[in-house]
Amino acid sequence: MATDPIEQDPAARALSDLLAVLDTCMAELGGARERAGKLLEERRSGRAWLDIVTAESRPLVVEQISSVMAALASAGGAWRREQAHALASEQVSINRIAAMFGVTRQRISALLRERARTHQ
C-alpha cells in the first residue's frame, strides 16, 4: 500500500493544516464582516453602543476576531516551525532561513528549539 508523501512530511502536514485553518478563518471573517457592517448601520441610525452590543448575538464580532487571530497564530506558528526545520534539514543555514523569513537568526534558533521541544 502506497503512503501519501504529505503524511510523511511534517512541514507539508503543517502547511495542509494551515490551509484548512485559513479556509475556516476566511469564512468566519466573512461572517464577522457582515455583522460588523450591520452594527455600523445601527450606530449610524443613532443607537447607543451599549444597546447595540447587548443586542448582538454571540459570538460577538470582537470574539470572532479574537478566535480567528488565535487560530491563525497557532497554525501559522506550527507552519513556521516546521518550515524552518525542513529548511535546516536541507542544510540551509540559519542566517539564510532568517533572511527568507525576515527575522533574526536568533528567532530561527528559537523556532528550531521550540520545534525540537514539541517533537520530543
What's the DSSP call for residue 47?
-
Q: What is the pLDDT along the chain (120 residues), one digit of tens a residue?
A: 556 766 789 999 999 999 999 999 999 999 999 999 999 999 999 999 999 999 999 999 999 999 999 999 999 999 999 999 999 999 999 999 999 999 999 999 999 999 999 887
| Residue appearing with cell numbers 506558528 | 77
pLDDT at 85: 97
3-state SS, residue 70 = helix
Nearest to 52 by CA among 40, 63, 64: 40
Using CA atoms, how far residue 13 sits from 8, 45, 49, 54, in Å, is: 8, 48, 43, 41
Tens of pLDDT, residues 28-54: 999 999 999 999 999 999 999 999 999
* pTM attached to this predicted model: 0.82
Euclidean distance between CA atoms 16 and 78, whole angstroms: 11
Enclosing H/E stretch for 39 = helix 10-44
